[in-house]
Amino acid sequence: MLIRSEAKCEPFTANDGCNIIELMHPKNLPDSSAAALNFSLAIAEVDIGKETYHHVLAQNEVYYLLAGEGEVHIDGESAAVVSGDAVLIPAGSEQWIRNTGEVVLRFAAIVSPPWTAEGDRLVEPS
C-alpha cells in the first residue's frame, strides 16, 4: 500500500509560477509503484489576485478545484471556475489560470503522462 501525505511533501514553484506539492509522481515513488503510475498528481496554489504564467504542456492535464474561484484560459477561451469544478486541458494548449477570489486558489493537477519540466514551456501571451 502506498500513501503519501501532503504535509510530508516538499513544495516548489513550477515553471508556470504556481506553488506545487507533488503527491504522486513516478520519479518520487518506489520502483514497484512507479511502474504502475501513468500520471502525476499535484496540489497547486495561486495566491489571491495572482495568475500563472502562460504555458503549454506536452501532456494532457485536468484541474480539479479544491478551494477558491478563478478564471481559466485555454487557447484563447476563458471561463469562470469554482471549487468543485473540473477542467480538461488538452496537450499542446496554451493555458493559464487567475485567482479572482478572496482566498488562495487550490486545485489538484492531474497530468498524463506524468508532468516533466521539459514538457512544460512558457509562452508569450497571445
For the chain, the domains span: 42-126
For the residues of 36-97, what is the DSSP string, one character each? T--SEEEEEEE-TT-BPPPEEESSEEEEEEEESEEEEEETTEEEEEETT-EEEE-TT-EEEE
- Reduce the DSSP state of residue 114 to 3 states and report it: coil
CATH superfamily of 42-126: Jelly Rolls (2.60.120.10)
Lowest mean pLDDT among 4-8, 71-75, 85-89, 101-105: 4-8
CB 18 within 8 A of CB 50: no
pTM of the predicted protein model: 0.92
pLDDT given at position 117: 86
Average pLDDT, stretch 109-121? Answer: 93
pLDDT in tens, 23-76: 998 888 777 676 678 999 999 999 999 999 999 999 999 999 999 999 999 999
